[in-house]
Structure 1
Amino acid sequence: MDKKELSEVWGSELVRSYKIILDVIKKSLTQTLNYRGRLEPNVNFAQKDSIELSQIDGGTMIMLDHPSSINYIEMEICCCTPSYYIEVSIDKYSWFRVVDHSNYDCRSIQRLWINRIYVRYIRIVETKNTSKKIKFLKVMYNTDKLHLVEIKNGLVAPKYNVALSSMDAIVINGIPNTFIRHMAKYTPSTMQDSILNDDYKHYYKYRGYLYHYLNRGCIEVQLAQPYLLSSMRMLLWDHNNDTYDYTVHVSVNHKDWDIIIDKSNKSCRSWQLLQFEQRLVVYIRITGVQTSNDDRSFNLVYLEAPAQVSLASIITKPWKSMVWLLNRK
């Protein structure tokens, strides 16, 4: 009997002792059910032959072959920017919400870490841009990268770089440099997503960066899902020792933006190691404010989030341009 049914029985003439039923209700509200089931590390329960998709209460549900402990769900949503939440259950009657991305833009493959929980049923309900085309790729108790994530209130703070094409991040604003744009082997998406590939060591003067002209546009990246971030790292194009002033804004819905880095008067160059107060991030907007180059463009070679180097190496005094040094009083 669930809590509602127990409450109804409390007032029934069939129950002789109110004290007994009150004790049962109190116990049901406070105890944690100690289900006995399987704990199989790194076994994918979402194999094609072992689960079946069904529709329930406006959502898409799968049932595992047997109750199991899980901490990781990976699924693909065939929709541009859906929002959703995920609930789990043992009995298909009482549901517990483990992921709530109802107010955040998401895309493509979702890699979701949750606190270990014992489940049999998993239900996803889309709240925006519903497609009902959901493919569960992995449902498991994942130990491979468990040490690389921190779970806070159902949200994930990763220690690995999530601003990668391989992690389904994409560039939604930014112009590929002219040389690479005319190379036949590069598709438009490959050219634009060049800053999201970790082959920055091979970039050269006319290849492997994005730009925007000052006072016209910006460079924007969308992550696959919301992540808790507190650092980033960027490489500014620096073959001519150019300097740049810039700002960085973030958003979870592409409507409300917060500024996290303001270097609009700093004359920066080359590698930028950025640290800020931890916050939820889906979109990253980088806007050039000033530059020393002749064509008035802000050029970005690489973006990384979170930073994959020690934050202890952040320079407290920003690099100053020669013009600033000569004009210093």
Structure 2
Amino acid sequence: PTENVATIADCASVIEGVSRSRNALLNGDTKNYDWDSGYTCHQLGSGAIVVQLAQPYMIGSIRLLLWDCDDRSYSYYIEVSTNQQQWTMVADRTKNSCKSWQTITFDKQPASFIRIVGTHNTANEVFHCVHFECPAQNSPHKDESSKEAATTEVGIGGQQLVSRPVRAASTSSLHSPPGSTSRSHAHQP
């Protein structure tokens, strides 16, 4: 495909990951997100964010927006699969400090499932993704330039991070303020 097939209209869905709005990752909204909503996340070291496309497509690029309402950075890797049994890594940014928009290109291959696995967050123990598209679309977005779309993008922000305890939350949610730090499984961004 040349158009983004990771949309609700194209019957794509998020089958793994935590969000207050089930398909926030696929709704096309790249501007309305904050500390409490508009993103999908997973606990570092446990789980992932998995998008299922409506059918297998030959894809060679992906673009995603990492949560960037402060100056944190993330590390991650991305895998694709047609059956959720055999996975092929298409991006390894486990040693990179990544912010805001990420464009990943790779050799075209069939994929029905895309798995995004966060491995590090400089602010807390949760990986947060605001937007996902497949294949990558070339439309202008905030704080994005061709240089930033390479390996390590520069995001918005510049606020000083302050660690503070997480308020009590149910274990069914990974939502807590993005600046929070905790080792439990109950988090927010």
Give the TM-score taking structure 1 as reference length. 0.43
Which of the pair has the greater relative contact order for Cα pairs under 8 Å at 6+ separation? Answer: 2
Aligned match of 1:291: 121
Aligned match of 2:100: 270
> Per residue, is there more strand in 1 or in 2?
1
Work out whether 1:228 is the aligned partner of 2:58: yes
Aligned match of 1:259: 89
SS at match of 1:195: helix
Aligned partners of 1:192 and 1:317: how far apart in 2? 29
Aligned match of 1:318: 152
SS at match of 1:308: coil
Q: CA deviation at 1:285?
A: 0.2
Work out whether 1:238 is the aligned partner of 2:71: no
AA matched with 1:171: V
Which entry has the higher C-alpha Rg, 1 or 2? 1
AA matched with 1:318: T
Task: Give ranges in structure 1 of 5+ residues lacking alignment.
Answer: 1-157, 182-190, 321-329
Deviations 1:119-144 (A, max 9, x none): xxxxxxxxxxxxxxxxxxxxxxxxxx
SS at match of 2:23: helix
Give the TM-score taking structure 2 as reference length. 0.74
Deviations 1:199-241 (A, max 9, x none): 2222222111011111011000100001111111100001112
Deviations 1:8-27 (A, max 9, x none): xxxxxxxxxxxxxxxxxxxx
Task: Give ranges in structure 2 of 5+ residues lacking alignment.
Answer: 140-144, 155-189
Aligned match of 2:159: none
Aligned match of 1:166: 9
Work out whether 1:209 is the aligned partner of 2:39: yes
Aligned partners of 1:220 and 1:280: how far apart in 2? 16
CA RMSD, Structure 1 to Structure 2 (Å): 2.1
Deviating above 2 A after TM superposition, structure 1's stretches of 4 or more consecutive aligned residues are 312-320
Aligned match of 1:106: none
> Per residue, is there more helix in 1 or in 2?
1
Contact kept? 1:266, 1:319, Cα under 8 Å:
no
The one of 135, 139, 154 equivalent to 1:306 is: 135
